[in-house]
Amino acid sequence: MPELPEVETIVRDLKKKIVGRKIIDVWTDWPKTVKFPKKTDKFKREIIGRKIEKIERRGKNILIFLSGGKLLLVHQKLTGHLLVGRWKIEDNIPRPLMKGALEDKVNNYIHFIFFLDDENQLALSDLRKFAKIMAGAEDEIKKFPDLKNLGSEPLDKKFTFERFKDRFSGKKGKIKQVLMNQKIIAGIGNIYSDEILWQAGVYPLKEVQKLKENELKAIYRSMRDIFKKAIGLRGDSMSDFRDTAGRKGRYQEFHKAYQRTGEPCFRDGTTIKRFKLGGRSGHYCPTCQRLTNN
């Protein structure tokens, strides 16, 4: 699933490419993508004819603010990514009219298209069809749990170490799980929790209430450093993620722990190990991330 750096990459692209444009039509072959409002005609009435005024990220959600106080929310979920380009729909199948990255197979699972007034289109490619779209009055959309229950933004300037530490106060569970809890901190998933804890030198299965202050500080610094680096590299494309032009990010070239099972640790040469936690795989170095109470 795209995490904070991948979603931020998309948002920064969209700010350059589609702000100021007007949505003039919508096409989909998978109306179930729209979770609110349920009826396609009502959804279209919420957005068609409206100008895109600004675009923001909140956690893993893309927020497209429209004229008339409307808000369009897109969550790309597991395999979704937004693309900007031009397609021709033939036999209800979108065909790219632009050569290059958009022709890549991973970009050809288009199930949703927003037509814009400059002849460009905003398309959602989503192999697994898990992505979510919602639209309505801004106040109404912000009341949904998707936004209302989100935790702190890791890169917010106001999110100091003291506030970070407070987010863990009274929490229970393994530190990897707690980092991925969107109600505590927004935007961290499986990839970056592995990477953050490796850089911090913290055992991923350590109980959060047993973490020392120096460990929390290391996690906080690592979180901010890694997110900034990953955004600079335009996200992680080990799986399906692509940017709005259909191109891969490069963070997967710099993994230190995630999906490196059996490979040597870059710090001490110990073999990286894989573990299961809550039905998901994690990765760590048993030497430099060993369990300690010191």
How sure is the predictor about 190, in pLDDT bands with cuts at 50, 70 and 90? very high
Whether 293 has a pLDDT exceeding 70, the answer reads no
Active site residue 174: no
Distance in angstroms (rounded) separating the CA atoms of residues 216 and 175: 10
Give the residue among 254, 33, 204 at the shortest CA–CA distance from 124: 33
Whether 99 shows a pLDDT value over 90: the answer reads no
Is 253 tagged catalytic?
no
User: For the chain, which domains are there?
Assistant: 4-148 (3.20.190.10), 161-284 (1.10.8.50)
Are 125 and 81 contacting, i.e. CB atoms less than 8 angstroms apart? yes
Per-residue confidence (pLDDT) for residue 52, from 0 to 100: 98
Sheet strands (E) in 86-241: 87-90, 93-96, 110-116, 121-126, 132-137
- Average pLDDT for 2-19: 98
Active-site residue identified among 2, 5, 94, 204: 2
* Contact indicator for 223, 202 with CB cutoff of 8 Å: no
How many Cβ atoms are within 10 Å of 113's Cβ, its own excluded?
21
Exactly one of 3, 6, 8, 46 is catalytic; which is it?
A: 3
Q: How confident is the model at residue 98 (pLDDT cuts 50, 70, 90)?
A: confident
- What digits encode the pLDDT tens for the residues 20-37? 999 999 999 999 999 999
Partners of 65 in beta bridges: 54, 71
Active-site annotation holder among 17, 50, 57, 60: 60
Among 16, 45, 95, 280, the one annotated catalytic:
280
Q: Is 60 one of the catalytic residues?
A: yes
Mean pLDDT for 120-126 is 97
Is 224 catalytic? The answer is: no
Phi, psi (degrees; rounded to nearest 5) at 175: -60, -35
Q: What is the structure's pLDDT at 115?
A: 98
Mean pLDDT, the chain, as a whole number? 96
Pair 135, 141: CB distance under 8 Å: yes
pLDDT band at 292 (very low <50, low <70, confident <90, very high): confident
Q: Over 70: is that where the pLDDT of 294 sits? A: no
